[in-house]
A and B are shown apart, each in its own frame.
Chain A
């Protein structure tokens, strides 16, 4: 298998002022290393505040790491100039938690889909439209919604649109930052299936960031468990879930809801 992304000892610190006005250091990432192979899905799980979203922003080249490296396409994308980073960004697409504000609320669906294509400026307007419609189909949206504004779509439709928009740039990697968390359970399952289809049809490489271990187990091959900006456990999904070694992992495993099969205990006498 081909190695696509290799993160080495990634550190991200934020300086922020506390209430007294003194400088305070926040370590969002504190020495994180992992590898992502082409065509596989890596799940990054952890509780909120464990540095997952910072990791997503660093991977998508939208946030500069304080130190450490992310190797992608033969380059350390943490140490290149802004102009080069801009060329890397289309190849690693980030999908956000809330599609309601990650889509431009003033543009129609079709405009949202053609925008990244206009940027590339290589294909004609007709071709763009065609591509946009095939993208809609790819994520299971009907062509009817092409002229709607994001505000007129449902949450699931919006997230499908966000995925379609990311695919428009033909990225090598999709980074999904809690992309299912804001959706209803049934819609989550639908979008998860869209992702599985993308993986099998396009061989898409995904980094799936979530706090939902159940969903991680469903979608991912490898898993990284984070806590306090560090990786506490990593490995094949089945192995980590079967025998969670760390406290944090156990807590996350315990948080996965199961349908209670046992009959309800009688109340009183």
Chain B
């Protein structure tokens, strides 16, 4: 069993290593760099630009820069941001915290709604409530996230119920603790709603499909034939059997915690990773971009690893396959 996990873990680290190299390579291959715009400015001497490039080691060969980046990664800095004139890691962490506040809440909510709704729908397969849910999710599915976010913003502007962007009111610093919490809560409503609405249809459909497939299985009919009641049948037989695809999907959900909300953050000016990375990409703030990519990759890989662990725990067939018995 340990061997199975160790192998998966080694796999994960290898993947992160590979992605870091690719991220490095591609961001460097992209034309231009942070200091190029200075060259257009007649007031800055070419020597100054060259000196800056040298200071940030942009004139060094790629392997050397990668090595020094890895070194700074080990020291918990992840390189240096040109724009903020500071190590990348603390910058990213502050933004990632804001992003996670949104995405963790939204993911928990979306799963919390999708699971019962999907099961409920699957139990009524082909009947009216199920058809309504199928249509509803299809409708939500075809609305692009951008349109969804903009629509919600229009709603907020028209009604004035919710603030239309940002994470805090102007004089947030002077609020009492409870007032701060309330203010933060109000600001999270729109982006979380947008995230939940964009994630929900896919989740509901997957849950519905997985449960519906199991509900038609002969072993469930056999269990029913033993005189087992409907509730027990659902919880003890159907749901464990339907779990595998959903666990994999949960892995993806966790993997998308850092990267799934970027667009919505930009539209709703949420001070998370989204606007931060967009800015960094436009300014060619190299190490910030690489740091962002690495962060998302770590989450993606961790999500998949977690799914593997859960699957191993949930399904005895995987245990026998991995040769631990």
Contacts and interface: CB of A to CB of B under 8 A. Distances in A.
A116 interface: yes
Contacts of A152: 320
Contacts of A165: 222
Count class of interface residues, chain A: 20 to 34
Given A94-B225, A103-B219, A106-B316, 20 more contacts: A62-B224, A62-B225, A86-B227, A87-B227, A89-B224, A89-B225, A89-B226, A90-B226, A90-B227, A94-B221, A96-B218, A98-B218, A101-B219, A102-B222, A104-B219, A104-B223, A105-B317, A106-B240, A119-B227, A152-B320
A60 B240 CA distance: 25
Interface of B: 217-219, 221-229, 237, 240-241, 315-317, 320
22 contacts: A62-B221, A62-B224, A86-B228, A86-B229, A87-B227, A89-B224, A89-B227, A93-B225, A96-B222, A98-B218, A101-B217, A102-B219, A103-B219, A103-B222, A104-B241, A105-B219, A105-B241, A105-B317, A106-B240, A119-B228, A149-B316, A149-B320
B134 to A, nearest CB: 15
A233 interface: no
Given A101-B217, A105-B317, A94 B222 contact: yes
A221 interface: no
A61 B225 CA distance: 8
Contacts of A93: 225-226
A115 interface: yes
B237 A104 contact: yes
Contacts of A62: 221, 224-225
Nearest to A93: B225
A108 interface: yes
Q: Across chains A and B, which 5 residue pairs bring their CB atoms closest together, nearest first?
A: A102-B218, A89-B227, A90-B227, A116-B226, A86-B227
Nearest to B325: A147
Contacts of B219: 101-105
Contacts of A98: 218
A151 interface: yes
B267 to A, nearest CB: 41
B316 A108 contact: yes
A139 interface: no
A60 B223 CA distance: 12
A151 B237 CA distance: 17
Nearest to A88: B227
Contacts of B223: 104, 115
Interface string A85-129: 011111001101010011111111000000110010000000000
Contacts of A86: 227-229
Contacts of A60: 225
Contacts of B237: 104
